Amino acid sequence: MIDGSAGPGDLVCFSHLRWGFVFQRPNHLMSRAARARRTFFFEEPRFDAAGPPTLEVAQAEPSLFVCTPHVAPDPAGSDLAAAQRGLLEELVRERRVKPDVAWFYTPMALPIARGLEAPLTVYDCMDELSAFAGAPPELGGLEAELFGRADLVFTGGHSLYASKRRRHPDVHAFPSSVDARHFAVARDGARDPEDQAPIPRPRIGFFGVIDERIDLELIGRVARERPDWQWVILGPVAKIDPAGLPRLPNIHWLGQKAYSVLPQYLSGWDVATMPFALNASTAFISPTKTLEYMAAGKPVVSTAVADVVEPYGRAGAVAIADRESFTSALERALGADPAEVRRASDVWVARTSWDRTWQQMSDLVESALARKRLAAGRRRACSTT
């Protein structure tokens, strides 16, 4: 068993997203955190236990452990929190966890983590969760409590930063970044995956979670207007009825794909899209796929999501369109000069990376830890004099 008896303290991350779901911000950042310290990624529970609650701990990377509670179906709210708190205590005891950092993606984890003694608390606010379908009513109050507990607050984009910056004295904007090397494979003409290869061209592509944030009516409308264009859509369907997906011969729902193979799919697309609905759930999003599409060298057409319009749309790196103009924007993107598209994209891709983002976050974390330790040392010195 690996324990935390030597080296830097551990990081315990509480996430509303599963490690094995769509590979996104928490995966990118916690993978990098685990290069320096043991990292425990505590997921939301699975309601499948036939007996007492258990904690499944899987080693995803050498120093990264995915912790999944298994609890009985339909527990009461207080019983659910108590069960998970007990599992967390068991994890700390058995794995000799000595946390330096408690890292939150969801305020809903606070009732589980209140007993966890960590010198530093980080709230990485990647989304406005209260605006999502099915958001629990207690989320707002718990977020207020988390702002009171947190030493550092990071936001997943500039819109979120503007929304949260007055709620805490130490808030930093870290918009979605990119692993450019991973997606650059798409520029080299990767082999078409088997389920995409038979689909004719031109192809209009999208990957991501298919939920209330996606404008399904827009996709159906464009598909009907241009039946010669083929839509290739990758990703899991979540929180919406799959029966509501537009079903047309030129819309191909290929399901969720591993992060490792996304560049192969992207390579065979002619335009990459972000057909987001403009509603409360998209008001503060900073789509990770924006830069991933750019790194793949594809022209991008998006609806007017605030963190896409500024800076990418304003600079002309992403075409912004509404429902009425989306088809014509796609038409122009299909006729764009590939070399020109890549030059415009490369300006933005070169400015950031997940490595750089994590390093900046880590520097803030280490500085805050150093200040806390210094303050604690002074208090101890004062108490002995």
pLDDT band for position 2 (50/70/90)?
very low
Counting Cα atoms < 13 Å in the Cβ hemisphere of 385 gives 6
- Give the DSSP letter of residue 6: S
pLDDT range class, residue 8, cuts 50, 70, 90:
confident
> What is the arithmetic mean of pLDDT over 2-17?
79
pLDDT score at 345: 96
Among 124, 108, 183, which residue's Cα sits nearest to residue 358? 124
Q: What confidence score (pLDDT) does residue 4 get?
A: 47
Contact by Cβ (8 Å): 376, 100? no
- pLDDT for 315 equals 95
Going by pLDDT thresholds of 50, 70 and 90, the confidence category of residue 1 is very low
Give residue-wise pLDDT tens across range 16-26.
Answer: 999 999 999 99
More confident residue, 134 or 289: 289
Q: Looking at domain 10-177+354-383, which CATH architecture does it have? A: 3-Layer(aba) Sandwich (3.40)
Residue 75 has pLDDT above 80, yes or no: no
- Residue boundaries of the structural domains of the chain: 10-177+354-383, 180-349
95-112 burial code (b ≥16 CB/10 A, e <16)? bebbbbbbbbbbbbbbbb
Express each pLDDT in 137-187 by its tens digit: 999 999 999 999 999 999 999 999 999 999 999 999 999 999 999 999 999
User: Which DSSP symbol is given to 238?
Assistant: -
> Dihedrals φ, ψ of 101, to 5°?
-130, 130
Q: Do domains 10-177+354-383 and 180-349 have the same CATH topology?
A: yes
Residue 216 CB burial class (10 angstroms; 0-12, 13-18, ≥19): middle
Torsions phi, psi for 305 (to 5 deg): -70, 130
Percent of the chain with pLDDT over 90: 89
Decide if pLDDT at 268 tops 90: yes
Inform me whether the pLDDT recorded for 383 exceeds 90: no
* 3-state DSSP helix/strand/coil % of the chain, to nearest 5: 40, 20, 40
Buried b (16+ CB within 10 A) or exposed e, 113-125: beebebebbbbbb
The CATH-assigned architecture of domain 180-349 is 3-Layer(aba) Sandwich (3.40)
Cα 218 → chain centroid? 24
Provide Rg for the chain, Cα atoms: 22
pLDDT band at 382 (very low <50, low <70, confident <90, very high): confident
User: What is the pLDDT confidence band of residue 378, given thresholds at 50, 70 and 90?
Assistant: confident
